[in-house]
A and B are shown apart, each in its own frame.
Chain A
Amino acid sequence: MTGSGGADTDVITLTHYLVVSTVLFAIGLIGVLIRRNFIIVLMSIEIMLNAANLNLVAFSHYLDSLTGQIVALFVIAIAAGEAAVGLAIIVVIFRGKLATNVDQINLLKW
């Protein structure tokens, strides 16, 4: 696959980044789906976010546009906030129910 711009001569092409990003996203997704521990789920979400970041930065470089990198910075900031809020919720739940697994928390069913 060839693209225009300054990435022509690079050994590592856009495709490589996309593959890595996809792999990271898949790892995060599977982590969210199969792991029970709050902390692990949270970490897996972070991984998925970072997969998206990698995507954004790669396209940014490939398309010679800084917009993607700036969006990535926003994502990182939001991820930090989300981690803080998520951890706080986990701590509260742990204190209240002595639970660390997500399947122990099913209060909001019908």
Chain B
Amino acid sequence: MLSVALIPLLPLLAVLVNGIFGRKYLKESSHYFAVGSVAISFVLSVSLLVRTLSGEPPITVTLYSWIFGGGFDVHIGFLIDPLSSVMLMVVTGVGLLIHIYSVGYMHGDEGYYRFFTYLNLFMVSMLLLVMGDNYLVLFIGWEGVGLCSYLLIAFWFEKESATKAGTKAFVVNRIGDAGFLIAIFLIAQQFGTLNYVEVFERAHELSTGMATAIALCLFIGAVGKSAQLPLYTWLPDAMEGPTPVSALIHAATMVTAGVYMVVRNHAIYDLAPIAMTVVAVTGGATAIFAATIGLVQTDIKRVLAYSTVSQLGYMFLGCGVGAYAAAIFHLVTHAFFKALLFLGSGSVIHALGGEQDIRKMGGLKAEIPVTALTFLIGTIAIAGLPPLAGFWSKDEILGMAFKGGHQALWLVGMTGAFLTSFYMFRLFYLTFAGTTRMAPEVAHHVHESPAVMTIPLAILAGLSLLGGLLLGFPPEGGWLHAFLAPVVAGEAGEAHEGFGQLDLALMAASVGIALAGWWTAYTMYVRKPELAPSLAARFQGAYTLLLNKYWVDELYDALFVEPSKQLGRAWGWFDRVVVDGLVNGVGRMTAGSAWLSSWIEKHVIYAFLNVIGYGNHLGAAVFRRLQTGYVHHYAVILIVGLFLMVSFFVWWQGGSVGRLLVLR
């Protein structure tokens, strides 16, 4: 089907157009192609969603055979089933809004065309990732989004911190990618194919050990891409990129690729209970770990970044307890409200001319009301208050965890939910409420963002308000679950027992904990602002620990980065001294033999040739005397020669002229 192929191809076309003509010709009009192509992809995705909704079987589109032979065939092909349809909607829908927002946010930037080229390239890769019908296409997309993430984090490459953050993201992702690659190799070795449908059909043939190995290796990939413990450190640094990038790549889409991948492979995870436990525990641990760091951060985008890490932890927690549909549900709602929050923070940063420190904000509610209102909606949504989007999805994950017998994880999740509610309201109050702490010259220029930025905010706010209800009500039996059922209907934890007392109690607990978080934040930052510093002073140790992010970065530096650098230096020495020494030695030998050969040429061959030349010269000095110039000398020589020739001829024939005549 052409429309399926067009979804990734159109943004690719825009990449080519902007990449080739952007710098010289398109410049400030690069966004027409970029936004246009994504808009068309969005429309095509909607049409595919409608088609899938009507109950048609999954579509497989094969573009061409890539690797072919030896019984191992890989096609460039797309699979459109409910799961990829949902992902397509998130990627193209949120992507479209963020593209539109970027038109305003990036306006006047020197790399405007470059930004849209990268952003579209990201769309292409992400679409390949969610649409691919086999692991290799998934891997292409996986690496493509990693590359774009690197390019966009380091977008302002004049800033050293940005390039370092980009490199960090790329390198940390490589660790995960290595695990992912091993998983792909294992799958290829076990099944002889990389096609999803074939692999999942025969997944039950796997031994538990092999299933666990594959699942864990896949999860290593997911941990890298989705910023889970222990590979989450790149994501907060990734906030060096432009804010729309943070919203699109580092909140809404790319970082959720790991969740998508785990859900896509649930057939394998269902066979590996140990791997499931690892996923759930990692998710839960990350959720609470990142949330605690988020409590004390002062950079508006970093708070959101740790919040993203934490929310991704919830998604993996959901995956780990077998609540795949709930994980995808949370992925979708998170895409709505986290994109909204990031774009809102971008709007704040835009209004304040680049200020990101929330200690220097405050009281912005009146200055930028649209941003403040939409940001408040996003905050409530993520904090988990009904009926906004985040409540339904998060509560569902926690409920599934509790009912699946993972009470400890439920408790961790609840604690994380409290922290989430607290740090998000803290962020909101510090930014928008109270009195301003802005520098006067900054306060002077504060202005609401243009419509091209606020309209996407409004749309996302609408989705954050209603998306949860529309997609996931009633809990565990909502529209999204019914839609995803054909894909994720698994054995573990999907048993649906209807909505009971227990669910109601869990919901009440969720709401209570969210309200508690809100109340705490309200107390500490609005009612009694003096409380926060005094608490920080009282729990000095804990506060410092959190402020320094548990010194994980420093730990990694000491454990991995520095040894790597040392190793690099050692090998550098080896290269310079040994390898270069060998090369230089060979070079010197060549130079020496060349010198020898030139010496022989000069002193032997030339001498020989000179002797010949001189001999010729001497001979010529004798024989040229014959050349007198007098005609009669020549005539005499001629006649004498003639006489000698005739005489010889006659003698040779037998002695007389008469004989000659007789012979004739």
Contacts and interface: CB of A to CB of B under 8 A. Distances in A.
Interface of A: 1, 3, 29, 32-34, 41, 63, 102-103, 105-110
B628 A109 contact: yes
Contacts, number: 32
B628 A106 contact: yes
B632 A106 contact: no
Contacts of B631: 41, 102, 105
A33 B628 contact: no
Given A1-B658, A63-B664, A108 B629 contact: yes
A33 B630 contact: no
A110 B658 CA distance: 43
B612 interface: no
A59 to B, nearest CB: 9
A105 B636 contact: no
A107 B629 contact: yes
A109 B639 contact: no
Interface string B175-188: 00000000000000
B632 A102 contact: yes
Interface of B: 624-625, 627-632, 635-636, 639, 658, 661, 664
Contacts of B629: 105-109
A28 B635 CA distance: 12
A93 to B, nearest CB: 11
A33 B658 contact: no
A32 B632 contact: yes
Nearest to B632: A33
8 contacts: A34-B632, A41-B631, A102-B631, A106-B628, A106-B630, A107-B629, A108-B629, A109-B628
Contacts of B628: 106, 109
Contacts of A3: 661
Contacts of B664: 63
Contact of A109 (B627, B636, B658): B627
Contacts of B635: 32-33
Given A41-B631, A102-B632, A103-B630, 5 more contacts: A1-B658, A32-B635, A102-B630, A105-B631, A110-B627
A33 B631 CA distance: 9
Contacts of A110: 624-625, 627
Contacts of B639: 29, 33
B632 A108 contact: no
A33 B642 CA distance: 14
Contacts of A103: 630, 632
Contact of B636 (A1, A33, A106): A33
B661 to A, nearest CB: 8
Contacts of A34: 632
A33 B627 CA distance: 17
A42 to B, nearest CB: 11
Nearest to A41: B631
